[in-house]
Structure 1
């Protein structure tokens, strides 16, 4: 009796070892390296996977590019905003204040808004008695110039936001397309070979799921960056509006609301 049990165990051991080896091999085939190796060895069979992969790479590269660029731009604008505005209003002479704005970098938005306003006021003053003055008074002319300047500078801050929003919304579905197509190909292979063991299923399905993970990896940073920059831009827009209202009061009436005495 004992001898029969030992013979049975001995016979089952190779099968168990073989099954364990197959399972280990299946797990090794679920990695990104194995997927990329298969895609490289037979690119024609993985055309959809290649398209999905390259789309996600482009999305990721563009997202990180706009994230870095917008981070630098928002940091510079935010750090210089208060100093530029404060120096403009604290400069006792209007010409010196305008000269200070002209010395600011080309990417500094508050100085460009002030310069557009000053140029509009000077242009209107030079054409006193003309049809321009009859059509638009000084306040309306300056207001139009300020609106255009604020709109232009606000649009510059929006650069890249559409890309981040698009990537955050579509990258998971692009990755899901790769997963669905990968699972579809795996099922076709299983049907053709007639093998439905764990080593035949786990590898192809696991590789297909990598595309979904890649899509999420691309989308999540884009969504976080979009929300962060959207909030930062709203704060900057509010500063634009406040500064533009003060500029309008100053160039239209000669002083800001609440200033005593008026700045000259």
Structure 2
């Protein structure tokens, strides 16, 4: 379709350099501002892409800070737990960690599960009879790891959505621009390039904007997916050691 438009434009043979000057982003915005009704779809596409870009960059920055913080805290928090002289001091050290710190929350859930089992066992409650101490702690650790792993996924769905859909949103602007070019050619009977340069330029710009929005989002999604997988593996390793500690009373090396 684009090839047909350019062939028709070449046949018109009128001042191509002046027409090409109408294909820039500045001209697109001026045309959209001057004729908001005519460019309603273009406005919707452009504003949608701007919103998608802002949202993806917001979650990219948030995830960068979170990944950096977790990387620096992981070794420190786990060392605090294992270097404590006894279980009570270890639990107290975990309670002093920030509410957003995941490793301490996993440890506290395991400690609470072990304490609850011990109390239930002392009074002969049904949970102590139906589950062993190891199973009870293991269940609590699985739930804690699942919860903290889910927290790592904040913003990932949005990044995936932006990366996969923004090219198609831009393509909508492309299709609409080509449609506008064909309408202008049919209405004016002028197949010169100045009649179609603006709409075609708009079409190409919308496509480019869609790609500029999608590419960083895709890179960010892949990057954070790899980082999150490594962090979840650390959760699992810490949880296994916690299970041995609270189920048997000592850490298995």
* Fold shared per TM-score above 0.5: yes
**2:18 match:** 25
**1:150 match:** 145
Runs (5+) with no aligned partner, structure 2 = 1-11
Question: Deviations 1:77-122 (Å, cap 9, x if unpaired)?
Answer: 1111011112211112211111111111111100000000001100
1:54 matched to 2:47? The reply is yes
Runs (5+) with no aligned partner, structure 1 = 1-18, 259-264
Q: How does 1:174-185 map to 2 (within 5 A)?
A: 174-185=169-180
Question: Deviations 1:198-247 (Å, cap 9, x if unpaired)?
Answer: 22222221121100000001000000000000000000010000000000
User: 1:24: Cα distance to partner?
Assistant: 2.5
Q: TM-score, normalised by structure 2?
A: 0.92
**1:251 match:** 246
Higher alpha-carbon Rg:
1
CA distance in 1, matches of 2:212, 2:132: 55
**1:186 match:** 181
1:82 matched to 2:75? The reply is yes
User: 1:20: Cα distance to partner?
Assistant: 10
Q: CA separation of 1:21/1:185 partners in 2, compared to 1, >3 Å: closer, same or farther? A: closer
Give the CA RMSD over aligned residues. Answer: 1.4
Q: 1:138 aligns with which of 133, 139, 150?
A: 133
Q: Conserved in 2, the CA contact under 8 Å of 1:29 and 1:207?
A: no
CA distance in 1, matches of 2:103, 2:117: 21
Q: Conserved in 2, the CA contact under 8 Å of 1:66 and 1:160?
A: yes
Aligned length: 240
Q: Conserved in 2, the CA contact under 8 Å of 1:246 and 1:257?
A: yes
Q: Which runs of 4+ in 1 moved over 6 A?
A: none
CA distance in 1, matches of 2:66, 2:75: 15
Q: TM-score, normalised by structure 1?
A: 0.88
CA distance in 2, matches of 1:216, 1:209: 11
Q: Conserved in 1, the CA contact under 8 Å of 2:94 and 2:107?
A: yes
